[in-house]
Structure 1
């Protein structure tokens, strides 16, 4: 069952304008949250960085927590979209898994500061919003469960159903590792080398030899 998205009220009625302005707010807020931290950033600073007055900002959001929620949701949308694209790949599950893992790590590399922000600041969200953000994380992990099961069905992946959830979470950690440990891993591996090595290690135990 898909987690219900939190509704953030807006005084503006035009959906396209709301989307456009909130994208501006997200971009401005991300930079501020990363460099100053969520708690030290003020809504007035977010408004200024967005190019709005404080009054205009409050036409699109109700609180600073709303902005953090929008930032988290934006990052998860990008991750899920990229992974959904990967699973449309025509081929056996094992090849789909390789494509999806590559997509995951590349996206993590591209939005690494934002991913760090999610893990550092999610605790600042109200309970309902935090629950939604965590459920989105589970939904993204479930994409890998789907891919693993596809491979099990077509015979290209060798594992047991009871291990699928654990393996899917392990795959997510491979992507997150590049975010959290890139400061040292990048001294020894390029992004492509990291992807290739982690793919080899992952497939060693689950791929079915042809």
Structure 2
């Protein structure tokens, strides 16, 4: 079982490297097998098709992401300290995996599979719950005023996602954003979060 899990992880890591370098659409299962020097039957044993491999890659990325953000989630740390740290984590993942979003050719229906869309929606709900818990803890500490923490979390996530999309649209849509664009994106995300948290502050704490 351990050896099986290790081989599966090696395939996922190999797929991530090729996906990042060449794009998901332009990568074939045969190329991944060649990169890893594994037989095609062995590759298909772990991942029956490209859709299942893409899902495995996405699961790996989200697992690593949640491991990173939960390390930053500390009890009794004020929002104006914890939120910037979480933005930094998210930014690192964006930089590392941004190229996975690029098609680089004809649209690939595998990237838009129902299974993958459902999984990503589940992960978004998990992120939403994470931030809702973060805001709820701040409410209990008296740091911010009593509100619906889930609605606050949804508004915060939506505003950050919108800002990220805007920064991408303003830059080059086909290539990895340059250092200038990435720096600008991070600065604006941090600034927006500062305004957001300030607006939530309990008047007695200001």
Check whether TM > 0.5. yes
Structure 2 equivalent of residue 186 of structure 1 = 180
Equivalent pairs, count: 194
TM-score using structure 2 length:
0.73
Measured in 2, the distance between the counterparts of 1:188 and 1:65 equals: 30
**Cα 1:123–1:179 shift into 2, 3 Å:** farther
Tell me which of 157, 161, 174 is aligned to 1:169: 157
Structure 2 equivalent of residue 204 of structure 1 = 198
Structure 1 equivalent of residue 14 of structure 2 = 28
Contact 1:141 1:172 in 2 (8 A): no
Structure 2 equivalent of residue 10 of structure 1 = none
The Cα of 1:78 is off from its aligned counterpart by 1.5
TM-score using structure 1 length:
0.72
The Cα of 1:172 is off from its aligned counterpart by 4.8
Cα deviations by residue, 1:143-200 (Å, 9 ceiling, x for unpaired):
1111111112212124631732432423651784598367378258367645543432
Matched, 1:70 2:56: yes
Tell me which of 126, 146, 154 is aligned to 2:141: 154
The Cα of 1:66 is off from its aligned counterpart by 1.1
**Cα 1:124–1:107 shift into 2, 3 Å:** closer
Contact 1:93 1:150 in 2 (8 A): no
Structure 2 equivalent of residue 106 of structure 1 = 92
RMSD across aligned positions (CA)? 3.4
Helix, strand or coil for the counterpart of 2:61?
helix
Helix, strand or coil for the counterpart of 1:58?
helix
User: For residues 5-20 of structure 1, what are the structure 2 equivalents within 5 Å?
Assistant: 14=1, 16-20=2-6
